[in-house]
Structure 1
Amino acid sequence: MNKKHIVLAALLSVTSLVASAAEAPKLSLHRNNIKVWTYQTENNPVFQYKAETTFDVPLERAVAVVLDVERTPQWVPYVAKAQLLSRDEKKGEFTLYMLLDFPFPLKDRDVVIKGKMIKNADGSITIKNSTVKNNYPEQPDVIRLTQYTGDWTFQRLANNRVKVMTSGYADPAGSIPLSFVNMFVQQQPYQMLIKMKKEIYNPLYAQPHLPDLLK
């Protein structure tokens, strides 16, 4: 089984069959303290996912991993490049560029994302990501994605324990064989959280620095 095929299917939660009605989230995978649900909505035929797990680290350390954009390729499967284009810590906003490595013969994809950091009333932290129009140069033979959302929520369970939840979907554009999609759509968030579990103990995040609005 080609791992790139799994990521191709799941990283972007690719379109499969148009659902005639909204589907309730289905628990597709529960392993290694990670749960992944997949579902479709009535107004969006693109497969969507949500996933959750817990880490035995402070909330701030988990958030710092996700906000460290340049290291995203180290733990998000098959992200070839991630570049921070702008960040306004006072407003809690940032813009980033990602290049996604798709297996031959499919074309690679890229996306420009607008992010928003939020400190919620209950002390949890949410990061909301979605596509944004941007003049970042388009590359030959790379398809620019225009429909994507991907959110993170971090909930403190104890001083050294955090619940991490992530959800998202994307329209991958172009023609994607359905054989890459249905069976493996839950694998990307699972693999991502498995890799995050290792990244989170990187000494880089021993003393995490977060924007003031998240403190």
Structure 2
Amino acid sequence: MKKKHIVAALLSITSLTATAATDTAKLSLNRNNIKVWTYQTENNPIIQYRAETTFDVPLERAVAVVLDVERTPQWVPYVGKAQVLSRDEKKGEFILYMVLDFPFPLKDRDLVIKGKMSKNADGSISIKNNVIQNNYPEQPDVVRLTKYTGDWTFQRVGNNKVKVTTTGYADPAGSIPLSFVNMFVQQQPYQMLMKMKKEVNNPLYAQPHLPDLLK
């Protein structure tokens, strides 16, 4: 498997979200076949989200986009860098370093993520990510995130159709205006899935290559 093909925690990485019961969720956006739910929990004041859509491509093609770490900054808003630090193809595990490029005057964020990919009994594919403490050097004027989880789920709903769901949680740390956080949580997943809709049709993924454990 090529170096670039390792689970990109990306994507849901930029979600300022938290685990919560979906029955409290509010449908905040429903546009261009993309739905974004936002909600809050008692113990977390940050608005959370879950987003989903469908693409008219095979499941494998959508998964291949998320696994292509080198292209993550091309289609995931605010991701400035994504780098694979290590991987275990047999276990489906990886460690990833990512930088979030926030607009001035906000400081950029970075984090180290441990992720795991798996194929479920129903044929769907899951990617689960969690931040870890790591000795990767901290960068000047970049805030290191220490609280984050995020998931991607890919479910086949036809021969050439896949349902994609992304969720996550991240404490953005530092000082960020609430107005930016709220905008970020509602708009970022929508923009990401809109760009992913174009990316899944990139000729690069015409013959997607997935790790053996996902086949």
TM-score (norm 1): 0.88
2:111 is equivalent to residue 108 of structure 1: no
2:38 counterpart of 1:41: no
Letter in 1 for 2:186: Q
Q: Which amino acid aligns with 1:97?
A: Y
Following superposition, the deviation at residue 126 of structure 1 comes to 0.4
- 1:183 CA drift (Å): 4.5
1:11 to 11, 14, 22: 14
Q: Secondary structure at the match of 2:174?
A: coil
Instruction: Return the alpha-carbon distance in structure 2 between the equivalents of residues 71 and 39 of structure 1.
Output: 30
Conserved 8 A contact 2:17-2:168? no
CA contact (8 A) 1:12 1:171 kept: no
- Specify whether residues 14 and 57 from structure 1 end up closer, same or farther in structure 2 by C-alpha distance, changes over 3 A only: closer
Distance 2:165 2:111 in 1: 22
Counterpart position of 2:89: 89
The 1-side partners of 2:46 and 2:149 are apart by 12
What's the CA shift string for 1:159-201, capped at 9, x where partnerless?
1100000011210101111121235521110000000011111
Give the letter aligned to residue 90 of structure 1: K
Partner of 2:59: 59
Structure 1 gaps of 5+ residues are 1-9, 16-21
Structure-1 separation of matches of 2:26 and 2:118: 28
CA deviations 1:60-89 (Å, max 9, x no partner) are: 000010011111000000211111111111
1:204 lines up with 2:190 in the alignment:
no
* Identity between Structure 1 and Structure 2 (%): 82
* d(CA) in 2 for partners of 1:120, 1:213: 10
What is the distance in 2 between the residues matched to 1:166 and 1:182? 17
1:162 and 2:165 aligned? no
Matched residues in 2 for 1:183 and 1:141: separation? 23
Query: How many Å separate the matches in 1 of 2:82 and 2:75?
Result: 11
CA distance in 1, matches of 2:145, 2:192: 20
Secondary structure of 2:24's partner?
Answer: coil
